[in-house]
Chains A and B, each alone.
Chain A
Amino acid sequence: MIEGTHEHKDETEEQIHIVSPRIYILIGATLLILTGTTAAVSFVELGPFNVVVALAIAVIKAMLVVLFFMHLRYSPRLTKLTAISGIFIFLGLISMTLADYISRAWGRW
Protein backbone atom coordinates (compact mmCIF):
# COMPACT_ATOMS: atom_id res chain seq x y z
CA MET A 1 0.00 0.00 0.00
CA ILE A 2 2.80 2.36 0.84
CA GLU A 3 4.48 1.47 -2.43
CA GLY A 4 1.26 2.17 -4.31
CA THR A 5 0.81 5.61 -2.76
CA HIS A 6 4.40 6.40 -3.53
CA GLU A 7 3.92 5.54 -7.18
CA HIS A 8 0.81 7.65 -7.31
CA LYS A 9 2.67 10.71 -6.03
CA ASP A 10 5.32 10.38 -8.71
CA GLU A 11 3.49 12.90 -10.88
CA THR A 12 5.20 15.65 -8.91
CA GLU A 13 8.72 14.62 -8.08
CA GLU A 14 9.69 13.57 -4.58
CA GLN A 15 12.78 15.71 -4.58
CA ILE A 16 13.84 19.04 -5.97
CA HIS A 17 15.86 18.29 -9.10
CA ILE A 18 19.47 19.40 -8.63
CA VAL A 19 21.16 20.47 -11.86
CA SER A 20 24.86 19.62 -11.83
CA PRO A 21 27.63 22.25 -12.11
CA ARG A 22 28.83 20.50 -15.26
CA ILE A 23 25.65 21.55 -17.08
CA TYR A 24 25.91 25.10 -15.70
CA ILE A 25 29.50 25.42 -16.92
CA LEU A 26 28.56 24.00 -20.33
CA ILE A 27 25.59 26.36 -20.71
CA GLY A 28 27.52 29.37 -19.38
CA ALA A 29 30.36 28.75 -21.86
CA THR A 30 27.89 28.27 -24.74
CA LEU A 31 26.21 31.57 -23.84
CA LEU A 32 29.53 33.42 -23.86
CA ILE A 33 30.48 31.86 -27.21
CA LEU A 34 27.11 32.83 -28.69
CA THR A 35 27.61 36.39 -27.41
CA GLY A 36 30.98 36.53 -29.19
CA THR A 37 29.40 35.04 -32.33
CA THR A 38 26.54 37.54 -32.48
CA ALA A 39 28.94 40.45 -31.96
CA ALA A 40 31.27 39.12 -34.71
CA VAL A 41 28.41 38.49 -37.16
CA SER A 42 27.23 42.09 -36.71
CA PHE A 43 30.45 43.22 -38.40
CA VAL A 44 29.56 41.23 -41.54
CA GLU A 45 27.22 42.82 -44.05
CA LEU A 46 24.23 40.48 -44.47
CA GLY A 47 21.52 42.92 -45.50
CA PRO A 48 18.20 42.11 -43.81
CA PHE A 49 19.69 38.92 -42.39
CA ASN A 50 21.74 40.84 -39.83
CA VAL A 51 18.50 41.31 -37.87
CA VAL A 52 17.41 37.71 -38.41
CA VAL A 53 20.73 36.22 -37.25
CA ALA A 54 21.02 38.57 -34.24
CA LEU A 55 17.48 37.76 -33.06
CA ALA A 56 17.85 34.02 -33.75
CA ILE A 57 20.98 33.91 -31.58
CA ALA A 58 19.20 35.95 -28.89
CA VAL A 59 16.29 33.47 -28.89
CA ILE A 60 18.69 30.50 -28.61
CA LYS A 61 20.49 32.20 -25.70
CA ALA A 62 17.21 32.97 -23.95
CA MET A 63 16.06 29.36 -24.42
CA LEU A 64 19.28 28.03 -22.89
CA VAL A 65 18.88 30.34 -19.88
CA VAL A 66 15.21 29.40 -19.40
CA LEU A 67 15.67 25.65 -19.85
CA PHE A 68 18.84 25.13 -17.81
CA PHE A 69 19.66 28.14 -15.59
CA MET A 70 15.97 28.55 -14.71
CA HIS A 71 15.49 24.76 -14.58
CA LEU A 72 12.37 24.81 -16.75
CA ARG A 73 13.46 21.57 -18.35
CA TYR A 74 13.29 19.87 -14.94
CA SER A 75 10.24 21.73 -13.62
CA PRO A 76 6.70 20.39 -13.09
CA ARG A 77 4.34 20.51 -16.04
CA LEU A 78 2.40 23.36 -14.50
CA THR A 79 5.50 25.57 -14.56
CA LYS A 80 6.28 24.58 -18.15
CA LEU A 81 2.74 25.39 -19.20
CA THR A 82 2.93 28.74 -17.40
CA ALA A 83 6.13 29.76 -19.17
CA ILE A 84 4.87 28.65 -22.59
CA SER A 85 1.52 30.39 -22.16
CA GLY A 86 3.37 33.59 -21.23
CA ILE A 87 5.38 33.51 -24.46
CA PHE A 88 2.24 32.63 -26.41
CA ILE A 89 0.25 35.57 -24.99
CA PHE A 90 3.17 37.92 -25.59
CA LEU A 91 3.45 36.85 -29.24
CA GLY A 92 -0.34 37.10 -29.58
CA LEU A 93 -0.33 40.67 -28.26
CA ILE A 94 2.53 41.63 -30.58
CA SER A 95 0.77 40.18 -33.65
CA MET A 96 -2.51 41.89 -32.81
CA THR A 97 -0.85 45.27 -32.21
CA LEU A 98 1.19 44.94 -35.40
CA ALA A 99 -1.88 43.89 -37.40
CA ASP A 100 -3.56 47.08 -36.20
CA TYR A 101 -0.64 49.39 -36.99
CA ILE A 102 0.05 47.83 -40.40
CA SER A 103 -3.56 47.96 -41.55
CA ARG A 104 -4.15 51.64 -40.68
CA ALA A 105 -4.10 54.31 -43.37
CA TRP A 106 -1.18 56.17 -41.76
CA GLY A 107 1.04 54.92 -44.54
CA ARG A 108 4.26 54.66 -42.61
CA TRP A 109 4.99 51.00 -43.50
Chain B
Amino acid sequence: MSDSTTIANAAVAEAGHPHHGEHPPFQRHHFESVVQQFDAANFAMWLFLLTEVMFFGGLFMSYLIMRNWYYPAFVEGSHFLSIFWGTSNTAVLITSSFTVAMGVWCAETRRKKGLILCLILTFILGLMFLGIKGIEWHAEWVEYHVPGLHFSAETFLNPASAPEVYKEYHDKPLSLGMANKTELYFFLYFAMTGMHALHMVVGIGILAYIIFRAWAGAYTTGHVTFVENFGLYWHFVDIIWIFLYPLLYLISRHQ
Protein backbone atom coordinates (compact mmCIF):
# COMPACT_ATOMS: atom_id res chain seq x y z
CA MET B 1 0.00 0.00 0.00
CA SER B 2 2.23 2.80 1.25
CA ASP B 3 5.95 2.96 0.75
CA SER B 4 6.62 2.59 4.46
CA THR B 5 4.74 -0.72 4.52
CA THR B 6 6.77 -2.02 1.62
CA ILE B 7 9.93 -1.03 3.41
CA ALA B 8 8.68 -2.75 6.56
CA ASN B 9 7.94 -5.94 4.65
CA ALA B 10 11.34 -5.87 3.02
CA ALA B 11 12.95 -5.29 6.40
CA VAL B 12 11.05 -8.20 7.91
CA ALA B 13 11.94 -10.38 4.94
CA GLU B 14 15.62 -9.56 5.30
CA ALA B 15 15.73 -9.82 9.06
CA GLY B 16 13.55 -12.81 9.76
CA HIS B 17 12.81 -14.99 6.78
CA PRO B 18 15.50 -14.94 4.12
CA HIS B 19 13.70 -17.60 2.05
CA HIS B 20 10.54 -15.60 1.53
CA GLY B 21 12.03 -12.64 -0.28
CA GLU B 22 9.92 -9.60 -0.97
CA HIS B 23 7.84 -11.15 -3.73
CA PRO B 24 7.84 -14.90 -3.88
CA PRO B 25 6.54 -16.13 -7.26
CA PHE B 26 3.37 -17.51 -5.67
CA GLN B 27 2.35 -14.19 -4.15
CA ARG B 28 -0.41 -12.58 -6.20
CA HIS B 29 0.10 -8.91 -6.97
CA HIS B 30 -3.03 -7.68 -5.24
CA PHE B 31 -1.84 -8.99 -1.87
CA GLU B 32 0.46 -7.01 0.33
CA SER B 33 2.18 -10.04 1.79
CA VAL B 34 2.18 -13.82 1.71
CA VAL B 35 0.53 -13.82 5.13
CA GLN B 36 -2.29 -11.61 3.89
CA GLN B 37 -2.77 -13.89 0.89
CA PHE B 38 -2.81 -16.92 3.19
CA ASP B 39 -5.33 -15.31 5.57
CA ALA B 40 -7.62 -14.32 2.71
CA ALA B 41 -7.71 -17.85 1.27
CA ASN B 42 -8.13 -19.23 4.78
CA PHE B 43 -11.07 -16.93 5.48
CA ALA B 44 -12.75 -18.00 2.23
CA MET B 45 -12.30 -21.65 3.17
CA TRP B 46 -13.96 -21.06 6.53
CA LEU B 47 -16.89 -19.36 4.77
CA PHE B 48 -17.24 -22.42 2.54
CA LEU B 49 -17.19 -24.65 5.62
CA LEU B 50 -20.00 -22.58 7.14
CA THR B 51 -22.18 -23.35 4.12
CA GLU B 52 -21.30 -27.01 4.72
CA VAL B 53 -22.40 -26.68 8.36
CA MET B 54 -25.79 -25.43 7.13
CA PHE B 55 -25.97 -28.25 4.57
CA PHE B 56 -25.32 -31.03 7.07
CA GLY B 57 -27.30 -29.07 9.67
CA GLY B 58 -30.52 -29.78 7.77
CA LEU B 59 -29.83 -33.51 7.97
CA PHE B 60 -29.04 -33.34 11.69
CA MET B 61 -32.20 -31.31 12.26
CA SER B 62 -34.34 -33.91 10.45
CA TYR B 63 -32.72 -36.64 12.50
CA LEU B 64 -33.46 -34.77 15.75
CA ILE B 65 -37.14 -34.25 14.93
CA MET B 66 -37.81 -37.66 13.39
CA ARG B 67 -36.06 -39.47 16.22
CA ASN B 68 -38.35 -37.74 18.71
CA TRP B 69 -41.47 -38.43 16.66
CA TYR B 70 -40.80 -42.08 15.88
CA TYR B 71 -38.63 -42.85 18.86
CA PRO B 72 -39.13 -46.68 19.11
CA ALA B 73 -38.44 -47.11 15.38
CA PHE B 74 -35.24 -45.07 15.58
CA VAL B 75 -34.04 -46.90 18.69
CA GLU B 76 -34.60 -50.39 17.28
CA GLY B 77 -33.28 -49.37 13.87
CA SER B 78 -30.00 -48.20 15.36
CA HIS B 79 -29.61 -51.54 17.16
CA PHE B 80 -28.70 -52.99 13.78
CA LEU B 81 -25.58 -50.84 13.46
CA SER B 82 -22.26 -52.33 14.53
CA ILE B 83 -20.62 -50.43 17.38
CA PHE B 84 -17.38 -52.23 16.62
CA TRP B 85 -17.20 -50.97 13.03
CA GLY B 86 -18.50 -47.54 13.99
CA THR B 87 -15.84 -47.08 16.67
CA SER B 88 -13.09 -48.45 14.42
CA ASN B 89 -14.08 -46.02 11.70
CA THR B 90 -14.02 -43.11 14.14
CA ALA B 91 -10.48 -44.10 15.14
CA VAL B 92 -9.45 -44.40 11.48
CA LEU B 93 -10.84 -40.97 10.64
CA ILE B 94 -9.29 -39.28 13.68
CA THR B 95 -5.92 -40.83 12.81
CA SER B 96 -6.28 -39.52 9.26
CA SER B 97 -7.00 -36.05 10.66
CA PHE B 98 -3.79 -36.35 12.67
CA THR B 99 -1.75 -37.39 9.61
CA VAL B 100 -3.14 -34.50 7.55
CA ALA B 101 -2.28 -32.07 10.38
CA MET B 102 1.25 -33.47 10.41
CA GLY B 103 1.30 -33.03 6.63
CA VAL B 104 0.49 -29.34 7.07
CA TRP B 105 3.37 -29.07 9.55
CA CYS B 106 5.72 -30.80 7.07
CA ALA B 107 4.66 -28.37 4.33
CA GLU B 108 5.19 -25.38 6.64
CA THR B 109 8.65 -26.57 7.63
CA ARG B 110 9.48 -27.63 4.03
CA ARG B 111 9.88 -31.36 4.60
CA LYS B 112 8.97 -32.80 1.22
CA LYS B 113 9.39 -36.50 2.07
CA GLY B 114 7.47 -36.09 5.33
CA LEU B 115 4.68 -34.27 3.51
CA ILE B 116 4.32 -37.00 0.88
CA LEU B 117 4.38 -39.71 3.55
CA CYS B 118 1.67 -37.97 5.62
CA LEU B 119 -0.50 -37.41 2.55
CA ILE B 120 -0.18 -41.02 1.41
CA LEU B 121 -1.06 -42.24 4.92
CA THR B 122 -4.11 -39.96 4.90
CA PHE B 123 -5.06 -41.33 1.49
CA ILE B 124 -4.85 -44.94 2.73
CA LEU B 125 -6.79 -44.15 5.94
CA GLY B 126 -9.47 -42.41 3.85
CA LEU B 127 -9.86 -45.52 1.68
CA MET B 128 -9.95 -47.68 4.83
CA PHE B 129 -12.80 -45.58 6.16
CA LEU B 130 -14.78 -46.05 2.95
CA GLY B 131 -14.01 -49.79 2.98
CA ILE B 132 -15.37 -50.19 6.51
CA LYS B 133 -18.39 -48.08 5.57
CA GLY B 134 -18.90 -50.48 2.64
CA ILE B 135 -18.86 -53.48 5.00
CA GLU B 136 -21.52 -51.81 7.14
CA TRP B 137 -23.71 -50.84 4.18
CA HIS B 138 -23.47 -54.38 2.88
CA ALA B 139 -24.68 -55.71 6.25
CA GLU B 140 -27.75 -53.43 6.01
CA TRP B 141 -28.38 -54.67 2.46
CA VAL B 142 -28.34 -58.28 3.66
CA GLU B 143 -30.86 -57.44 6.42
CA TYR B 144 -33.24 -55.72 3.93
CA HIS B 145 -32.62 -52.32 5.53
CA VAL B 146 -31.97 -50.25 2.41
CA PRO B 147 -34.99 -47.93 2.03
CA GLY B 148 -36.69 -47.90 -1.35
CA LEU B 149 -34.40 -50.50 -2.90
CA HIS B 150 -34.21 -53.49 -0.63
CA PHE B 151 -36.34 -52.93 2.43
CA SER B 152 -38.51 -55.05 4.69
CA ALA B 153 -39.81 -54.22 8.18
CA GLU B 154 -39.80 -57.94 9.05
CA THR B 155 -36.90 -57.69 11.54
CA PHE B 156 -38.90 -55.08 13.52
CA LEU B 157 -42.27 -56.87 13.41
CA ASN B 158 -40.57 -60.05 14.52
CA PRO B 159 -37.25 -59.13 16.22
CA ALA B 160 -36.40 -62.77 16.94
CA SER B 161 -35.90 -63.23 13.18
CA ALA B 162 -32.55 -61.41 13.56
CA PRO B 163 -31.09 -63.62 16.33
CA GLU B 164 -27.75 -61.81 16.80
CA VAL B 165 -29.31 -58.42 17.44
CA TYR B 166 -32.15 -59.97 19.44
CA LYS B 167 -29.67 -61.74 21.72
CA GLU B 168 -28.03 -58.43 22.58
CA TYR B 169 -30.99 -56.05 22.87
CA HIS B 170 -34.15 -58.20 23.35
CA ASP B 171 -36.16 -55.75 21.27
CA LYS B 172 -39.94 -55.92 21.52
CA PRO B 173 -41.95 -56.24 18.29
CA LEU B 174 -43.11 -52.88 16.92
CA SER B 175 -46.62 -52.18 15.68
CA LEU B 176 -46.95 -52.27 11.88
CA GLY B 177 -47.15 -48.47 11.66
CA MET B 178 -44.06 -47.93 13.82
CA ALA B 179 -42.13 -50.77 12.17
CA ASN B 180 -42.62 -49.06 8.81
CA LYS B 181 -41.07 -45.89 10.27
CA THR B 182 -37.75 -47.72 10.63
CA GLU B 183 -37.45 -47.11 6.89
CA LEU B 184 -37.22 -43.42 7.79
CA TYR B 185 -34.41 -44.15 10.23
CA PHE B 186 -32.48 -46.05 7.59
CA PHE B 187 -33.23 -43.37 5.02
CA LEU B 188 -31.60 -40.79 7.29
CA TYR B 189 -28.80 -43.22 8.13
CA PHE B 190 -27.94 -43.69 4.45
CA ALA B 191 -28.46 -40.01 3.61
CA MET B 192 -26.16 -38.82 6.40
CA THR B 193 -23.43 -41.45 6.12
CA GLY B 194 -23.75 -41.37 2.31
CA MET B 195 -23.36 -37.59 2.13
CA HIS B 196 -20.43 -37.86 4.53
CA ALA B 197 -18.88 -40.63 2.41
CA LEU B 198 -19.37 -38.49 -0.72
CA HIS B 199 -17.35 -35.77 0.99
CA MET B 200 -14.69 -38.36 1.74
CA VAL B 201 -14.60 -39.43 -1.92
CA VAL B 202 -14.20 -35.81 -3.04
CA GLY B 203 -11.50 -35.32 -0.39
CA ILE B 204 -9.61 -38.43 -1.48
CA GLY B 205 -9.77 -37.22 -5.10
CA ILE B 206 -8.31 -33.84 -4.17
CA LEU B 207 -5.76 -35.63 -2.01
CA ALA B 208 -4.55 -37.67 -5.00
CA TYR B 209 -3.96 -34.41 -6.87
CA ILE B 210 -2.15 -32.90 -3.87
CA ILE B 211 0.13 -35.95 -3.55
CA PHE B 212 0.98 -35.64 -7.24
CA ARG B 213 1.76 -31.92 -6.85
CA ALA B 214 3.67 -32.44 -3.58
CA TRP B 215 5.86 -34.92 -5.42
CA ALA B 216 6.75 -32.11 -7.82
CA GLY B 217 7.67 -29.95 -4.81
CA ALA B 218 4.74 -27.54 -5.09
CA TYR B 219 3.99 -27.13 -1.39
CA THR B 220 7.41 -27.09 0.20
CA THR B 221 8.49 -23.68 -1.07
CA GLY B 222 6.58 -21.65 1.51
CA HIS B 223 3.26 -21.77 -0.41
CA VAL B 224 1.20 -23.87 1.97
CA THR B 225 -2.26 -22.39 1.37
CA PHE B 226 -3.63 -25.29 -0.64
CA VAL B 227 -2.46 -27.97 1.79
CA GLU B 228 -3.70 -25.95 4.78
CA ASN B 229 -7.14 -25.42 3.22
CA PHE B 230 -7.40 -29.05 2.21
CA GLY B 231 -6.58 -29.87 5.83
CA LEU B 232 -9.45 -27.64 6.98
CA TYR B 233 -11.82 -29.51 4.66
CA TRP B 234 -10.61 -32.90 5.86
CA HIS B 235 -10.93 -31.91 9.53
CA PHE B 236 -14.40 -30.59 8.88
CA VAL B 237 -15.47 -33.93 7.39
CA ASP B 238 -13.93 -35.54 10.48
CA ILE B 239 -16.06 -33.30 12.75
CA ILE B 240 -19.25 -34.31 10.90
CA TRP B 241 -18.38 -37.93 11.65
CA ILE B 242 -17.58 -37.09 15.28
CA PHE B 243 -21.28 -36.11 15.62
CA LEU B 244 -22.71 -38.84 13.37
CA TYR B 245 -20.98 -41.54 15.39
CA PRO B 246 -22.74 -40.98 18.77
CA LEU B 247 -26.05 -39.99 17.20
CA LEU B 248 -26.34 -43.04 14.94
CA TYR B 249 -24.49 -45.71 16.91
CA LEU B 250 -24.30 -44.92 20.61
CA ILE B 251 -27.25 -43.09 22.10
CA SER B 252 -29.93 -45.76 21.59
CA ARG B 253 -28.24 -48.75 23.17
CA HIS B 254 -30.23 -48.79 26.42
CA GLN B 255 -33.52 -47.44 25.20
Chain A interfacial residues counted at CB < 8 A: 61
**B198-228: contact bitstring with A at CB < 8 Å (1 yes, 0 no)?**
0000000000000000000000000010001
Q: Does B231 lie at the interface of the complex (its beta carbon under 8 Å from any beta carbon of A)? A: yes
> Are A86's CB and B50's CB within 8 A?
yes
Q: Please determine whether B35 and A66 come into contact, CB atoms closer than 8 angstroms.
A: no
B-side contacts of A62, CB under 8 Å: 239, 242-243
User: With an 8 A cutoff between CB atoms, is A5 at the interface?
Assistant: yes
Asked if A39 and B83 sit within 8 Å, CB to CB, the answer is: yes
Q: Report the bound CA distance from A18 to B47 in whole Å.
A: 22
Residues B97 and A12 in contact, CB atoms below 8 Å apart = no
Alpha-carbon gap, A78 to B43, bound state (A)? 8
Given the interface pairs A2-B4, A35-B91, the reply to whether A79 lies near B46 with Cβ below 8 Å is yes
Knowing A82-B47, A82-B50, the reply to whether A14 touches B12 (Cβ < 8 A) is yes
Task: Give Cα A31–Cα B235 distance, bound, in whole angstroms.
Answer: 13
- Total interface residues in chain B, CB < 8 Å: 59
B102 at the interface (CB under 8 A from A): yes
The answer to whether B254 and A15 have CB atoms under 8 Å apart is no
A82 to chain B: which residues have CB within 8 Å? 43, 46-47, 50
Q: Does B190 contact A (CB under 8 A)?
A: no
> Could you tell me which residues of chain A, from 50 to 65, have a CB within 8 Å of some CB in chain B?
50-51, 54-55, 57-58, 61-62, 65
B169 interface hit (Cβ, 8 Å): no
* Most chain B beta-carbon contacts within 10 A, residue among A1, A39, A85: A39
- Prevailing SS type, chain A contact patch: helix
The residue in chain B whose Cβ has the minimal distance to the Cβ of A24 is B101
Inter-subunit contact A43/B253 (CB<8 Å): yes
Which of the residues B7, B83, B238 comes within 8 Å of A42, measured between beta carbons?
B83
Is B108 part of the binding interface, using a Cβ–Cβ cutoff of 8 Å? yes
Specify which chain B residues have a CB less than 8 angstroms from the CB of A2 in the assembled complex. Answer: 4, 7-8, 11
Known: A69-B98, A94-B64. 13 other contacts (CB 8 A): A5-B4, A21-B105, A42-B246, A46-B254, A50-B254, A55-B247, A62-B243, A69-B97, A69-B231, A70-B231, A85-B50, A90-B57, A108-B69
8 A-B pairs closest in CB distance: A28-B98, A54-B246, A86-B50, A42-B250, A5-B8, A39-B87, A51-B251, A5-B4
